[in-house]
Amino acid sequence: MGPYEQCAEALVECGYATIPIMPGSKAPGYCCAGLRVPLVGWQKRYLHGRQPNYMDHNLWGNGDSGIGVVGGKASHGMVAIDIDTDDITIKTAIVKVLPATPVKKVGAKGETAFYYGPDITASRSWNIDGKRVCDLIADGRQTVLPPTPHPNTGAPYRWVGDSLDIYDPDELPFLSADTIGNIDAVLIPLGWKPDPSPSRPGNGDASFDADADTPHRDLNNLALARLDCWVPRLGLYKCRPARGGYEAVAHWRESSSGRLLKARARNLSIVPKGIKDFGDGRNGGAGFTYTPLDLVMAANDCDLDTAFKFLSEHTGWAGERIELIEPEPQPSPESTPAVTAEPVSDSEKPSATDELEPYTRGVPGVVGEVIEWILATARRPNRVLALAAAIPLVGTLIGRRVAGPTRSATQPALRNMSALAPSCQPRHCAISSTAGRCRCAARMNSAPTSPSFMPRPHPGMSVKLPSSCARCGGYRFH
Quick: pLDDT tens for 68-79: 999 998 899 999
User: Of 48-52, 182-186, 335-339, 462-466, where does the model show the most confidence?
Assistant: 182-186
Amino acid at 172: L
Is a pLDDT exceeding 90 seen at residue 458? Answer: no
Q: What is the mean pLDDT of the chain?
A: 74
Domain residue spans of the chain: 3-190, 215-315, 355-470
Residue range 307-323: mean pLDDT, rounded: 69
Is a pLDDT exceeding 80 seen at residue 471? Answer: no
Half-sphere exposure of 53 (CA within 13 A, CB side): 10
pLDDT of residue 279: 82
Is a pLDDT exceeding 80 seen at residue 302? Answer: no
Q: pTM for the complete prediction?
A: 0.48
Whole-number CA gyration radius for the chain? 26
Residue range 385-406: mean pLDDT, rounded: 71
Residue range 232-236: mean pLDDT, rounded: 86
Residue-level length of the chain? 478
pLDDT of residue 439: 46
pLDDT band, residue 362 (cuts 50/70/90): confident
Residue range 255-282: mean pLDDT, rounded: 84
Cα–Cα distance for residue pair 243/228, rounded to 1 Å: 13
For the chain, the farthest-separated pair of C-alpha atoms sits apart, in whole angstroms, at: 83
Cα–Cα distance for residue pair 174/96, rounded to 1 Å: 15
pLDDT of residue 55: 77
pLDDT of residue 89: 94
What are the pLDDT digits (tens) for 11-57? 999 999 999 998 888 888 888 767 777 777 777 777 665 667 777 77
Question: Is the C-alpha dihedral spanning 97, 101, 103, 108 positive or negative?
Answer: positive
Where b means 16+ CB within 10 Å and e means fewer, 280-314 reads beeeeeebbbbbbbbbbbbbbbbbbebbbebbbeb
Amino acid at 149: P
Among the residue ranges 108-122, 263-277, 424-438, the one predicted with the least confidence is 424-438
Cα–Cα distance for residue pair 467/328, rounded to 1 Å: 56
What are the pLDDT digits (tens) for 369-391? 888 888 777 666 788 888 888 88
pLDDT of residue 122: 84
pLDDT of residue 18: 92
pLDDT of residue 4: 92
CA angle 2–437–369, rounded 5-degree value: 75
pLDDT of residue 92: 93
Q: What backbone torsions phi and psi does residue 58 show, to the nearest 5 degrees?
A: -65, -40
pLDDT band, residue 468 (cuts 50/70/90): very low
Q: Does a cis peptide bond (omega within 30 degrees of 0) precede residue 147?
A: yes
Contact 99, 158 (CB under 8 A): no
pLDDT band, residue 166 (cuts 50/70/90): very high
Residue range 443-452: mean pLDDT, rounded: 38
Contact 446, 398 (CB under 8 A): no
pLDDT band, residue 200 (cuts 50/70/90): very low
pLDDT higher at 305 or 225: 225
pLDDT higher at 133 or 419: 133
pLDDT higher at 331 or 2: 2
What residue ranges in 46-178 does DSSP mark as E strands?
66-70, 78-83, 103-106, 111-116, 124-128, 131-137, 142-144, 158-161
Q: State whether residue 18 is helix, strand or coil.
A: strand
Among the residue ranges 268-272, 328-332, 444-448, the one predicted with the least confidence is 444-448
pLDDT higher at 4 or 375: 4
pLDDT of residue 404: 55
Q: Which secondary-structure segment (H or E) carries 313?
A: helix 304-315
pLDDT higher at 135 or 121: 135
Residue range 387-398: mean pLDDT, rounded: 79
Q: Which secondary-structure segment (H or E) carries 305?
A: helix 304-315
Cα–Cα distance for residue pair 385/194, rounded to 1 Å: 46
pLDDT higher at 186 or 464: 186
